[in-house]
């Protein structure tokens, strides 16, 4: 058997909105480029979808200076949403995605509600099937507070995006909060079809070197990702699933097959693989094949039957 037993459909039980992918394994935003950058390393047919680099209205150069800092069990990044902008994406990247028939989530980011509304409208115009909204962005009209940390602001933002976009709407939640449940509830009530979680944690990397009699210190503050954040991600997914009925795409420290089982056990409906791609570019293919073989070996018809058995026990 190939990977046919991995085909899955994410369904909003309230509206019936669906997003069907070949496998539940998705390349996470910021780690998979825009289109086919991993084609030399993997069989793209084993990939359910990719989440594009975060796309903003205008092209962005990103942050200057050190943008990556390796830490034990992961990494800290401060890329600064470097990207080609929505028009650059539509002219150069989108045609390749369609030509190669690669399913994708268009990951979008903005600094104001209007940015998100315009991006959503453009995505709708081009009939892009799935949108992933990065709400861990500073809202310049609210003192640069993150949209995703205030349930009321998140509700209003999601509602306005929903008004402009008819496709499958996914909101990517931040873990940098005391309680993620009100945020998940706000997203569902505002019309999102799915939640992806978690985004990176706030972190600080410090390097100290002694040269002669002087100590040279370097710090990088940014988003922490990798295997070290998996316990936090598992906790957050379990909390989200307590309050919503829409599907959840889990991410945060997935590096091996056992991690998939753990995330499924707390309610995950699909998975995004991020930092691990930098260590092993074949990980998405490998995980899909391992999952398919496990399902067949244990007598399940497909991924959905296996997921149901694991989550209902």
Catalytic residues: 137
CA distances, 65 to each of 29, 208, 210, 232 (Å) = 21, 17, 21, 29
Instruction: Find where tokens 């709400």 sit.
Output: 135
Structure tokens at 133: 């909204």
Instruction: Find where tokens 């293919």 sit.
Output: 285
Instruction: Find where tokens 């570019």 sit.
Output: 281
CA distance 101 to 99: 5
* Pair 134, 109: CB distance under 8 Å: yes
* Pair 233, 252: CB distance under 8 Å: yes
Name the packing angle between helices 257-265 and 303-312 (round to 10°).
60
Phi, psi of 119 (to 5 degrees): -65, -40
CA distances, 254 to each of 207, 215, 229, 286 (Å) = 26, 36, 9, 13
């Amino acid at each position: 058997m190939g990977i046919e037993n991995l085909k899955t459909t994410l369904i909003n039980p309230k509206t019936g909105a669906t997003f069907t992918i070949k496998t539940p394994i998705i390349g996470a935003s910021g780690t998979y480029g825009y289109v086919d950058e991993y084609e030399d390393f993997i069989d793209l047919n084993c990939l359910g979808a990719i989440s594009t680099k975060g796309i903003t209205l205008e092209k962005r150069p990103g942050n200057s200076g050190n943008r990556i800092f390796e830490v034990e069990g992961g990494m800290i990044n401060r890329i600064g949403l470097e990207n080609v902008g929505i028009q650059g994406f539509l002219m150069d990247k989108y045609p390749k995605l369609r030509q190669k028939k690669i399913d994708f989530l268009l990951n979008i980011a903005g600094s104001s509600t209007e940015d998100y509304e315009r991006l959503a409208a453009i995505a709708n115009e081009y009939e892009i099937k799935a949108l992933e909204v990065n709400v861990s962005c500073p809202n310049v009209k609210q003192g640069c507070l993150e949209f995703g940390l205030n349930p009321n602001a998140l509700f209003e933002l999601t509602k306005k995006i929903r008004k402009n976009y008819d496709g499958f709407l996914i909101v990517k939640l931040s873990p940098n909060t005391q309680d993620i449940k009100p945020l998940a509830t706000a997203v569902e009530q505002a019309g999102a079809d799915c939640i992806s979680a978690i985004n990176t944690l706030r972190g600080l990397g410090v390097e100290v070197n002694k040269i002669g009699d002087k100590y040279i210190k370097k710090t990088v503050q940014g988003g922490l990702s990798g295997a070290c954040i998996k316990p936090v991600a598992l906790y957050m997914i379990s909390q989200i699933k307590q309050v919503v009925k829409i599907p959840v795409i889990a991410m945060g420290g997935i590096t091996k097959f056992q991690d998939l089982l753990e995330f499924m056990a707390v309610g995950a409906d699909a998975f995004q693989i991020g930092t691990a791609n930098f260590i092993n570019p074949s990980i998405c293919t490998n995980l899909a094949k391992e999952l398919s073989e496990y399902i067949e070996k244990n007598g399940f018809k497909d991924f959905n039957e296996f997921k149901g058995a694991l989550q209902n026990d």
